[in-house]
Structure 1
Amino acid sequence: MSRVELIAPCHFGLESVLKKEILDLGYEIVQVEDGRITFAGDESAIARANIFIRTAERIMLKCGSFKAATFDELFEGTKAIAWEKYLTRDAKFWVSKATSNKSALFSPSDIQSIVKKAMVERLKQTYRVSWFTEDGASYPVRVFIFKDIVTIALDTSGVSLHKRGYRKLVGKAPISETLASALIMLMPWHRDRVLVDPFCGSGTFPIEAAMIGAHIAPGMDREFTAQEWSKICDKKIWYNAVDEAHDLIDHDVKMNIQGYDLDGDMVKCAMENARAAGVEQHIHFQQRDVKDLRNPKKYGFIITNPPYGERLEEKEALPELYRTIGESYRNLDDWSMFLITSYTDAEKYIGRKADRNRKIYNGMIKSYFYQFMGPKPPKRRREEA
């Protein structure tokens, strides 16, 4: 299995960030769709994509694609895929998720059942058995149908890639690690510039920024389903990818990343999560109100996910909260502010129209990524030799 096609879903609206990550890893973009990118590489791409990509939700191995407007066509198309190329005789396999959009086939449970039956029939013929123990490695299957085109893939990640392994404790409305990374990567922030999150909660923004700055691969300390797939990628591929990740860590980098929260318990939680991620030395956490946000450095960055008012009593407090955010921001000389929220009156109370505004779906919540740009710092003069 020298060349493989992989499918990486991401947050809707952030495809460009994921595309850049894939290209930076050296892989070929096959197709870009809303919330999903298909790319090609060799076998090692399965391991390297899982370990290095920060903004994808999971990595799936594409097994086949065909047109099906009836359940008979779905069955025959699935059966025609060479499943014996991927699954061992003792494989434990099931259709973990099926989605359909603008297609004749629309019942997820029926789609799941038909695909499983077709896979069993194919493997019965190959392995010449009538019953499978399914006590071996796990092979979760995912099915996508769009305009009657069926795509079937194996989920190589297992647990979603936003589960880095460091976040043991979370706040009331945490932002996912993959979304936090994508938003940081949309900013012109560089690790030599100060970065502050005044509503840091469990610390996701500061921790992801520190990991990016120190070149710490997000998946290097967790496990993936495909590590047990003996027919698809050798364990040596995974060992090599982890070794590569360790070699790339910048242990000597100096960063000024800060996280504040009014809740002292959340500050302790963020500190514990930073320790688990191995970046505690790069982040200063402190219990502090946003109205007390001060910093002597110029040309810094704010990135934050402030409260957006889930409950009625919280909504009533939002105008004053966002007014305070705006006042604190104006007190910071030449800074830029990046803010994700579903609160539609954010600009009104901040007191300034954002220079850019990107619509992003945070789960099922339609949010806005407001970008308030400060001036660029002057270019440093080259030292004369």
Structure 2
Amino acid sequence: MDTYELVVPCHFGLEAVTKREIYDLGYEITRVEDGRVTFAGDAEAICRANIFLRSAERVLLQVGRFRATTFDELFEGIKALPWEDYIPKDGKFWVKKASSIKSKLFSPSDIQSIAKKAMVERLKNVYRLNWFPEDGAPYPVRIFLLKDEVMVTLDTSGDSLHKRGYRLMTSKAPLTETLAAALIMLTPWKKDRILVDPFCGSGTFPIEAAMIAANIAPGMNRQFTAEQWKNLIPKQLWYDTVEEAQDLMDADIQVDIQGYDIDAEVVKAARENAKRAGVDHLIHFQQRAVADLHHPKKYGFVITNPPYGERLEEKEDLPELYTQIGQAYAGLDSWSLYMITSYEDAERYIGRKADKNRKIYNGMIKTYFYQFMGPKPSKRRETAEKTIERKEQQ
């Protein structure tokens, strides 16, 4: 089976999370750049990466890399690539997206147009055709220019991988599923610890946490463009990968994951989303204000995405809101708080400085992932807690 360079775009600043996921799938990392990780893999790896990776935005198959500072160089570079190894005679091919950063060639529309002409020129010579029907499987191309280096890829995913298929209803400022999963994996939370999101919105943090706990592959209930590439990936590989995902699920997991929101309609939508994700039985959703957040158990986690106040009229409410977050957290004995927000006075009103702070872009919004770390439970206490919980369940 052929080996490809597979490029996985991810959230800028969270490359280490995606890298760890790829290692855990058993593949070799060949390159790490800002916002993407490249690894070597075969056709099966394309299936497994799309279905199993939680933090990846999409999975791209690299066709080639070269330098280009003129449109002539771009044309010749694209034309020199072995497109016939990927696109059959009836394949539908087009440049879905082109982006350019710090490069002499900066017009996306011109890059797209020239690249398509170069692909046609190459395939005309190989297939001895003057016209292509393009009525077969789709082969969308994505081209990235960075400092005059051109990376040419085929998009195996189609819709972005954050579209798991469960979130039909969203709140005002939703966090993407991929970003939520990556942030959870950045924390030391494990499925045997309590997790509460007091601003759950559409339920993304609790749902992604429940899917992680139950080992539910994020892509097992959706489709991918490369499923139609029968010339490159046998259909059976997709069936085998879904079967692998089903075998790895832990349907009997016991967890304590809770999602609160002050808006009853939002809580209702979160429940519906959780139901579609198959994890509604693992999450307790409730209409509740952050000021009412309290819990008798120790060593829990608050992982949340509170309001940022992006609209001017909402900014006035933020000092009081973040003060309430700080007061609620102060009342949680030995808990940890992980919070993504663009509000720069967050630490001031919470009442303490974060132990760690990481800059992360949520879409085009510059946000900060504040990490307030509680103590770790002792091994003896952990063992005792688990014994008590087992007895309670019997």
Q: TM-score, normalised by structure 1?
A: 0.98
User: Deviations for 1:55-74, whole angstroms, at most 9, x for unmatched residues?
Assistant: 01000000011111111111
User: Deviations for 1:134-189, whole angstroms, at most 9, x for unmatched residues?
Assistant: 11111110001112111100000000000000001000000000000000001111
Does residue 179 of structure 2 align to residue 179 of structure 1?
yes
CA distance in 1, matches of 2:358, 2:233: 38
Matching residue's letter, 2:71: F
Deviation at 1:297, TM superposition (A): 1.1
* Corresponding residue of 2:42: 42
CA distance in 1, matches of 2:333, 2:243: 42
Matching residue's letter, 2:348: K
What is the RMSD computed on CA atoms of the aligned residues? 1.0
CA distance in 1, matches of 2:50, 2:105: 31
SS in 1 for 2:40: strand
Matching residue's letter, 1:334: S
CA distance in 2, matches of 1:62, 1:126: 20
CA distance in 2, matches of 1:313, 1:44: 51
Does residue 350 of structure 2 align to residue 350 of structure 1?
yes
* Corresponding residue of 1:220: 220
CA distance in 2, matches of 1:230, 1:328: 55
Unpaired stretches in structure 2, ≥5 consecutive residues: 385-394
* Corresponding residue of 2:295: 295
CA distance in 1, matches of 2:161, 2:380: 38
Count of residue pairs the alignment pairs up: 383
User: Deviations for 1:206-256, whole angstroms, at most 9, x for unmatched residues?
Assistant: 000000000000000100000001221111111111110000000111000
Alignment of 1:1-385 (within 5 A): 1-380=1-380
Deviation at 1:380, TM superposition (A): 3.0
Q: TM-score, normalised by structure 2?
A: 0.96
Matching residue's letter, 1:272: E
CA distance in 1, matches of 2:328, 2:270: 23
Deviation at 1:126, TM superposition (A): 1.4
SS in 2 for 1:39: strand
Percent of paired sites with the same residue? 69
CA distance in 2, matches of 1:350, 1:369: 14
SS in 2 for 1:115: helix
Matching residue's letter, 1:325: I
Unpaired stretches in structure 1, ≥5 consecutive residues: none
Deviation at 1:43, TM superposition (A): 1.6
Deviation at 1:103, TM superposition (A): 1.4
CA contact (8 A) 1:85 1:231 kept: no
CA contact (8 A) 1:177 1:204 kept: yes
Deviation at 1:355, TM superposition (A): 0.4
Matching residue's letter, 2:357: N
SS in 2 for 1:380: helix
CA distance in 2, matches of 1:103, 1:193: 48
